C-alpha cells in the first residue's frame, strides 16, 4: 500500500488536471493549487519529466511566479541518475507542493519509478505536501496508470495499456483529455480489469481536488466523468477476444461540473 493511503488525516491534496488548463486569463485551477499550498509564500517544485520540450519546466516556473509565487523551481529529472540529486531531493523535502507537467506518462514512470524521488514524493504527500499533475502528470498520480490506448466509447480487451504509476492513491484510475479525445472506452476497459477502483475521466481545463479523506471537488470549465464499478454485476472481459466489445452491467456513471463533489467512501455524488 502506498504511504498516502496510511494516514488520511495528514495527507496532502492530490490534484489531477485534465490538461490544457487555463494559464493566463483566469487560471482558476492553478490559483486554487497555489492557495492550498500556502499562497505567495508557497514553495513549489516543478517536474517537467513527461515533456520532451526543453522549455516546459521554465514556462511553468515563470507562470507560477507571474501568478505571485515567490519560490518556484524546475526540477529537471531527465534520467534515473538525476533522481538521486541531493539538491533536487532537498527542495522537494522543503516544498509545499509539487507540480507534474504534461507530456508522456511513460517518461514519468520509467524515469521516476522506484527512485528516491518517487519515494520522497509519496512520503511528503502522506505528510501533507500537495501534488498536482496535468495531462500525463494526472495519469501518473495513482497506483494503476493508464499508459496509452485507443479512442472510442465501447470497451474492448485491447483498448488500454496499464503500467505502475506514482502510487499516491489506489482509490482511482485517472484518464485525461477525456471528452476531447473520446476516452470513455479505455477507462471502462481499465476498470473492467481493476473493478475495485473508481474511474475518473478529466476534461481539459478541469481538475479534481482530492482531499485527504478522498473526497473529490471539481474545479474548472469542463466536466469530470466518475465511473463507479462497485455494483458491477457482470463483466464479459474474461472471455472477450482482442477487438471484441465487452459487456459491463451495473456500472454507475456521474458527470460532475464545477463545484460538484464525490465522496469515495460512500460512493455518493452531489452537484455541490
Per-residue confidence band for 9, with pLDDT thresholds at 50, 70 and 90? confident
Give pLDDT tens digits for 129-184: 999 999 999 999 999 999 999 999 999 999 999 999 999 999 999 999 999 999 99
- What radius of gyration, in Å, describes the C-alpha atoms of the chain? 18
Considering the entire predicted model, what is its pTM?
0.96
Torsion, Cα 212 18 179 240, to 10 degrees, reads -70
Measured N-to-C along each axis, helices 116-126 and 86-93 cross at an angle, to the nearest 10 degrees, of: 10
DSSP track, 122-134: HHHHHTT-EEEEE
Is residue 93 over pLDDT 50?
A: yes
Give pLDDT tens digits for 16-66: 999 999 999 999 999 999 999 999 999 999 999 999 999 999 999 999 999
Mean pLDDT for the stretch of residues 227-236: 98
Is residue 4 over pLDDT 60?
A: no
| Closest to 215 in 3D by CA, of 232, 201, 198 | 198
Torsion, Cα 263 266 267 272, to 10 degrees, reads -40
Is residue 186 over pLDDT 50?
A: yes
Per-residue confidence band for 3, with pLDDT thresholds at 50, 70 and 90? low
Architecture label for domain 3-257: 3-Layer(aba) Sandwich (3.40)
What does the domain layout of the chain look like in residue ranges? Answer: 3-257
Q: What is the pLDDT of residue 152?
A: 97
- By annotation, the residues acting in catalysis are 135, 177, 204
Q: What is the pLDDT of residue 1?
A: 43
Is residue 2 over pLDDT 70?
A: no
Distance CA 262, CA 272 (A): 9
Q: What is the pLDDT of residue 7?
A: 53
- Could you tell me the three cell numbers for 154? 465501447
Distance CA 48, CA 31 (A): 19
Strand blocks (E) in the chain: 14-17, 43-47, 71-74, 97-100, 130-134, 144-149, 160-164, 172-175, 198-202, 206-210, 215-220, 224-228, 234-235, 248-249, 252-256, 261-263, 268-270
Amino acid at each position: 500500500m502506498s504511504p498516502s493511503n496510511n494516514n488520511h488525516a495528514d495527507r496532502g491534496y492530490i490534484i489531477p488536471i485534465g490538461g490544457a488548463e487555463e494559464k493566463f486569463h483566469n487560471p482558476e485551477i492553478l490559483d486554487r493549487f497555489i492557495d492550498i499550498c500556502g499562497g505567495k509564500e508557497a514553495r513549489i517544485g516543478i517536474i517537467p519529466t513527461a515533456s520532451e520540450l526543453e522549455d516546459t519546466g521554465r514556462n511553468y516556473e515563470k507562470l507560477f511566479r507571474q501568478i505571485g509565487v515567490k519560490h518556484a523551481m524546475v526540477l529537471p529529472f531527465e534520467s534515473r541518475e538525476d533522481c538521486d540529486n541531493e539538491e533536487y531531493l532537498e527542495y522537494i523535502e522543503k516544498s509545499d507542493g509539487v507540480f507534474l507537467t504534461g507530456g508522456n506518462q511513460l517518461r514519468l514512470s520509467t524515469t521516476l519509478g522506484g527512485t528516491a524521488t518517487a519515494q520522497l514524493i509519496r512520503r511528503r504527500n502522506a505528510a501533507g505536501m500537495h501534488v498536482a499533475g496535468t495531462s500525463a502528470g494526472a495519469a501518473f498520480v495513482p497506483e494503476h496508470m493508464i499508459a496509452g490506448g485507443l479512442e472510442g466509447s465501447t470497451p474492448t480487451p485491447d483498448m488500454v495499456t496499464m503500467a505502475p504509476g506514482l502510487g499516491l492513491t489506489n482509490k482511482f484510475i485517472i484518464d485525461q483529455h477525456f471528452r476531447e479525445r473520446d476516452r470513455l472506452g479505455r477507462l471502462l476497459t481499465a476498470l473492467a480489469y481493476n473493478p475495485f477502483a473508481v474511474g475518473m475521466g478529466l476534461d481539459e481545463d478541469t481538475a479534481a481536488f482530492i482531499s485527504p479523506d478522498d473526497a473529490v471537488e471539481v474545479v474548472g470549465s469542463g466536466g469530470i466523468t466518475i465511473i463507479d464499478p462497485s455494483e458491477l454485476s457482470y463483466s464479459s472481459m474474461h472471455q472477450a477476444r482482442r477487438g471484441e466489445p465487452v459487456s459491463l452491467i451495473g456500472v454507475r456513471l456521474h458527470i460532475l461540473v464545477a463545484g460538484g463533489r464525490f465522496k469515495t467512501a460512500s460512493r455518493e455524488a452531489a452537484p455541490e
